[in-house]
Chain A
Amino acid sequence: MTADTTLITTSLDTDRRRTALVQLTVAAIAITLTLVAASVLAPIADITDLSARRQPPSWQHPFGTDRLGRDMLARTVVGLRLSLGIGALAALISAAIALVIGSVAGVVGRWVDAAVSWLVDLFLSLPHLVLLILIAVAVGRGIRGVLIAVALTHWPTLTRVLRAEARRVTASEYVTVARRLGRSETSIATGHLSRHLGPHLMVGTILLFPHAILHEAALSFLGLGLPPHAPAIGILLADAMRELSAGSWWLALLPGLALLLVVKAVDAIGQQIRALTDPWSVHA
C-alpha cells in the first residue's frame, strides 16, 4: 500500500468503523437478549401440558405449542442457547487444534509440514456432512458426541491459513536474524508467531462459529446429534417436519427463523470484528 491510498482509506474507514460498531453492538445485544431469555424460560421449556397441545401463536405462547403442549418460545430460546454454547465451544476447540497443528507445521521441518498438509487434504476430501456423520457415529450421540464431531471437522481450513502464515513468519528475514542470534525455536515461536497468528486466530475462530452452529443444527436434524427430546433447534425442526401435514406451520417457521437471525448476528459480529481489526491487510 502506498502512502496516498492509506490516507484515503483512513478517511473512508471512519464511516465504515461507525457502521461496523453499530452492527456489532446490535448483534451483541440480540445474542445477549437470547441468552437472558433462555435462562428465564429454561424451567418451562420441557414441561408438557397435554391439555394445550398444538396451539397456534398467541400472547400466552408467542411461538405456539407443540404436540405435547410445550411452549415453543421457551424451547426455541433454550435451543438457541444450546446452539450458541456448542458452537462457541466447538469453534474454540477447532481453533486450538488449528493453532497447534498449523504452527507446528509452519515451524517444524518439511516432513511434518507435508504430513499436516496431507491430513488437511484428507479431512477436506470428504463432504463436511459425511465426515460429521462418520464422527458422530463413531463417538456416539448426545452433547458430547455433537461437540466432538463439530469440533473435529472445523479445524482444517483454519489450519491452512495459520500454517501459511506461520511459514511466512518463520521464513521472514526477521526470524532468520533472530535464529542467527541464537534464540531458541520456542522463544521464536512464542514471540513472533503469537503476535502474527493472534489476529488470524481470533477472526478465524469467530468466523468458524456460525458454521459450527449450522452443523450442530444439521446433525441434530438428521437425528445423529442431541437426544431426541432435547430442545435443540435441529430437533424442533425435525419434529416439525414429521407433522408438517398436521398444519402446525409455526413449529417449522419460527424456530428456523430464530436460528437464521442468531447465525446472522454471530456472523455479523465476526465480519465486523474482521473489518475493525483486518488482520489480512496488516502486511498487504
Chain B
Amino acid sequence: MLNRRVARFIGVRSARLVLLLAGVAVGAFLLLEASPLDPVDAYVGAEIARVGPEQRAMIAERWGFDDPAPVKFARWIGNVAQGDLGTSSIFNAPVTEVISTRFRTSLTLLAAAWVLSGIIGFTFGVIAAMRRDRLADKVIRWLAYTFASAPTFWVGLLMLALFAVQLGWAPVCCATPIGVDPATATLGQRLAHLALPAITLSLIGIAPIALHTREQVIDVLASDHVTFARAQGEKGWPLIRHRVLRNAAVPAFTLQFASLSELLGGSILAEQVFNYPGLGRATVEAGLRGDLPLLLGIALFAALFVYIGNLLGDIIATRIDPRISLLDRKVGS
C-alpha cells in the first residue's frame, strides 16, 4: 500500500519534472533562437575585426550555425536526451563539463550562504518575536526591510572595497589563492576566499527567513498549545525549545528550500562582484558573449536545481513534522 503510494508519488513528480524541463528547453531555445546575436560574431569575439567572409562561412559550417531552427532544435534536444548538452563556444569544452566544474565551485558558496542565512535569519526571527515591539525587534525588522531593498551587488561592492581593498583582511578575488593550484589550496585558504561572497549572498536570504520566522513564532506563542504549556508551568528556554522552535522550524525549512531559486540567482551577482569562478560567472559570461549552448544548459540545470530544492523542502518538512504527509498531498495546484 505504502509502496504503491511512494511509487505513484515518484511517478507523478518525475512526470512533472520532465514536463517542466521540456517546457524550459523549448522556451529557452525559442528565446535564444530569437536573439539578434550572430553566433559567428559571438564565437570570434574580439577577433571579429580580423575575420573575413570566407572564414565566417567556415566557422558557421563547423558549428552548424546556419541550419534552420527546427533542425537545430531537433539536433540539440536529441543530444540533450543522451546527456550531451553540446559544446560551449567560450570555454571550448562540453557544456556538461563546464556546468559540473563551475557548479562544484559554486556549491561551496551556495551551501555556506544557505546555512548562514538560515541560521542567522531564524535566530533573528526568534529574537524579534520574543522581543516583540521592543528595540531588538524594531532593529531587526528595519534591517530586514533595508537589506531587502539593497542591491546585493552594491553591498558586495562595499564589502570588497572595505575589507579586501582598504583593510586587506580578505582576498579580492577568486575561490583559491592566486597562482596556486586549486586542488592544493588548503581549507583555510578556501574559507578566506569564501567568507565575503558567502556573507554577501547570505544577506539575500536572511530577511525573508527572519520576517517569516518572526510571524510564525508570534503565532505559536499565541496558540492554545503554548498557553496550555505555560499553564502547566513550562517557561523560559525549555518552553521555547520544545513548543516553539519545532513548530517554527518547519515553515522556515520549507521557505529556506524554496529560496534556493533566489540563492542561485543571487550567486550570479555575488560571483560577479567577487570574481568567484562559479556557475554564476559562467552564466554572465555566456550571456555577454552569446554562448547559446552554455546558456541553454544552464537554464536546464537551474530549473532542475530549483525543482530538487523544492522537493527536498517538502520531504524534509515531513521528516521534521510527521503531521504533514507528503504522499497524501495533492500534487499540483
The answer on a CB contact under 8 Å between A133 and B283 is yes
New A-B pairs, 6, CB < 8 Å, besides A126-B261, A128-B262: A121-B20, A125-B20, A129-B269, A138-B35, A222-B268, A260-B146
| B-contact 0/1 string along A28-63, CB 8 Å cutoff | 000000000000000000000000000000000000
Bitwise interface map of A from 219 to 237 toward B, beta carbon under 8 Å scored 1, else 0: 0011110000000000001
**Known: A125-B306, A129-B266, A134-B32. Is A237-B146 also a contact (CB below 8 A)?**
no
| A118/B23 in contact, CB under 8 A | yes
Interface presence of A25 (CB below 8 A): no
- Binary per-residue interface labels of chain B (267-298) against chain A in the complex, 1 for a CB within 8 Å, 0 otherwise: 01100110000000001100110100001001
A126 touches B32 (CB 8 A): no
Residues of A within 8 A of B32 (CB): 134, 137-138
Contact A222 B272 (CB under 8 A): yes
Minimum distance in angstroms from A164 CB to a CB of chain B: 10
Would A126 and B302 be within 8 Å (CB), given that A117-B333, A137-B295, A218-B153 are in contact? yes
Q: How many residues of A contact B (CB 8 A)?
A: 42
Task: Name which residue of chain A comes closest to B157, CB basis.
Answer: A252
Tell me if A8 counts as interface (CB < 8 A to partner B): no
User: How many residues of chain B have a CB within 8 Å of chain A?
Assistant: 50
- A214 in the interface (beta carbon within 8 A): yes
B residues in contact with A245, CB < 8 Å: 165, 172
Contact A252 B161 (CB under 8 A): yes
B27 close to A (CB within 8 Å): yes
Give complex CA distance A260, B153 in Å. 12
Q: Given B20, B261, B283, B298, which contacts A122 in the complex, CB threshold below 8 Å?
A: B20
The 8 tightest CB contacts between A and B, nearest first, are A127-B265, A256-B154, A129-B265, A138-B31, A263-B149, A133-B287, A127-B264, A122-B23
Assuming A222-B284, A241-B157, A260-B154, is B165 touching A138 (CB within 8 A)? no
Contact B307 A134 (CB under 8 A): no
Whether A244 sits at the interface, judged by CB under 8 Å, is yes
* Chain A CB within 8 A of B46 CB: no
Partner of B165, one of A126, A139, A244: A244
CB distance from A55 to the nearest CB of B (A): 18
B37 beta carbon closer than 8 Å to chain A: yes
B11: A residues at CB distance < 8 A: none
Q: Which residue of B lies closest to A122 (CB)?
A: B23
| B149 pairs with A249, CB closer than 8 A | no
> For residues 193 through 251 of chain A, which have their beta carbon under 8 Å from a beta carbon of chain B?
210, 214, 217-218, 221-224, 237, 240-241, 244-245, 247, 249
